[in-house]
Amino acid sequence: MKNYLYLIVLFSMIALGIGPGRGGNRANDRKISMSELPSPARQLLKTYFPGARVLQCVHSRTWDEYGVKVSGGYELGFDRQGHWEEIESDDKPLSLELVKLLPAPVVEYLEQHYPGAKVESMEQRKNVYKITLAYPDTHLYFSKSGEFVKARGDD
């Protein structure tokens, strides 16, 4: 009976979104000032978003990551050291300068296979880069060394 009750509570927590889950626990998010961001994050903002207003800086204590919203509809995610993990824009493509933060083979692949394509977001995780194009509506995946892995269109 105890095991049955435990399973009910566990599944209820999962269904309600309570418990471990990336980005789901706002109680552990703390608003911070830009000066509290790690140096590489501040430098990226200064270099690629000069004159833009920082609307919000948040530190996730759960994942020890940072989230920043910048005027113009940009959202950026940084790891604990301040290295970018995700850069996205709601309504306009990312600048070529931002896209060049990706490894050279990725940039070359984009230029060769998707000339003129608009990059909506770029994300880097432990083993992969994910690039989202606005048109054609496509997700491109690359290894950390910049080798093309696969493309997937949105349905």
- Is pLDDT at 26 greater than 90 in this prediction? no
The residue-averaged pLDDT of 96-114 equals 95
Q: What is the rounded average pLDDT of the residues 71-93?
A: 94
Query: Is residue 16 scored above 70 in pLDDT?
Result: no
Please name the helix (run of DSSP H) or strand (run of DSSP E) that holds residue 151, with its range, or none: strand 148-153
**Contact (Cβ atoms closer than 8 angstroms) between residue 77 and residue 85:** yes
Instruction: End-to-end CA distance of the chain: give it in Å, rounded.
Output: 45
Q: What is the mean pLDDT of residues 67-75?
A: 95
Query: Can you list the domains of the chain with their CATH numbers?
Result: 1-87 (3.40.1420.30), 93-155 (3.40.1420.30)
**140-150 confidence digits (pLDDT tens):** 999 999 999 99
Q: What are phi and psi of 14, to 5 degrees?
A: -65, -45
Mean pLDDT along residues 94-101: 95
Q: What is the mean pLDDT of residues 53-62?
A: 94
Beta-ladder partners of 140: 131, 151
The yes-or-no verdict on residue 139 having pLDDT over 90 is yes
Q: What angle do CA 111, 116, 121 make, to 5 degrees?
A: 85
Residue 142 CB contacts under 8 Å (≥ 6 apart), including other chains: 102, 103, 105, 106, 109, 128, 129, 131, 148, 149
